[in-house]
């Protein structure tokens, strides 16, 4: 991508707007950004995995486990199980005596699988957020390059704007670190 850009007639160094973008990282080297040629690793692979049915099942199970229905069902299940097995309805119906070893085993297995499903869902959400961040990055980069070129053709003092941007970023970063220092 970078090679194609520098080989074309519109090289960064012949265009004043591109020169300003180039110089914004402190080094006028003909590369607009060190990151401009970087593309998302295994993006298609990630998207494919997002579509996979088994992962969607994991999402569905996690959603259900995070609902109040899950609590109600378990409350009713445990209630009936315990009532039956303490002999509240009749000694003939007791199949899992106190301290309910079978129930303990079933619930332990359920907990193991549920925690795994939660982690699978978390990984999928993180992958989704990564893709979104990458798209945001590309959109920001595109709009920056466009606005610098538009500003240049309108006769805006680009170095002045770049200086203001630098000061504004520094100021807001300082404010942010001061805020964090006062709250913590």
| CA–CA distance, 113 with 106 (Å, rounded to integer) | 11
Tell me whether residue 3 or residue 92 sits nearer to Zn ion (CB atom). 3
Which residue's CB is nearer to Zn ion, number 9 or number 91?
9
Least gap, CB of 145 to Zn ion (angstroms):
8
Query: Which position has the token pair 């003909």?
Result: 30
CA 116 to chain centre: 19
C-alpha–C-alpha distance, residues 131 and 9, integer Å: 33
Determine, following the binding rule CB under 5 A, whether residue 158 of this chain makes contact with Zn ion.
no
- Tell me whether residue 106 or residue 151 sits nearer to Zn ion (CB atom): 151
CB 96 within 8 A of CB 102: yes
Nearer to Zn ion, 32 or 58 (CB): 32
Token readout for 71 is 């609590």
| Smallest separation, CB 27 to Zn ion (Å) | 17
- Burial annotation 50-83 (CB, 10 A radius, 16+ → b, else e): eeeeebeebeebbeebeeeeeeeeeeeeeeebee
Count of residues interacting with Zn ion (CB under 5 A): 3
- Name the residue nearer to Zn ion (CB basis): 143 or 177: 143
Binding mask 3-42 for Zn ion (x = CB under 5 A): ------------x-xx------------------------
Give residue number: closest CB to Zn ion.
Answer: 15
Residues near Zn ion, by CB under 5 A: 15, 17-18
């Amino acid at each position: 991508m970078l090679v194609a850009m520098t080989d074309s007639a519109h090289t960064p160094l012949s265009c004043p707007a591109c020169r300003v973008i180039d110089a914004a990282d402190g080094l006028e080297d003909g590369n607009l950004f060190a990151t401009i040629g970087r593309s998302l690793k295994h993006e298609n692979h990630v998207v494919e995995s997002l579509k996979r049915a088994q992962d969607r099942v994991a999402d569905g199970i996690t959603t259900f486990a995070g609902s109040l229905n899950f609590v109600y069902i378990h409350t009713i299940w445990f209630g009936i199980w315990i009532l039956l097995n303490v002999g509240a309805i009749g000694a003939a119906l007791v199949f899992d005596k106190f301290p309910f070893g079978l129930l303990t085993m079933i619930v332990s297995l359920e907990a193991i699988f549920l925690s795994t499903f939660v982690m699978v869902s978390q990984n999928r959400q993180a992958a989704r957020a990564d893709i979104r961040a990458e798209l945001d990055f590309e959109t920001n980069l595109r709009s920056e390059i466009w606005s610098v070129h538009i500003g240049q053709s309108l006769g805006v003092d680009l170095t002045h704007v770049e200086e203001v941007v630098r000061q504004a970023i520094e100021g807001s970063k300082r404010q942010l670190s001061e805020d964090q220092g006062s709250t913590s």
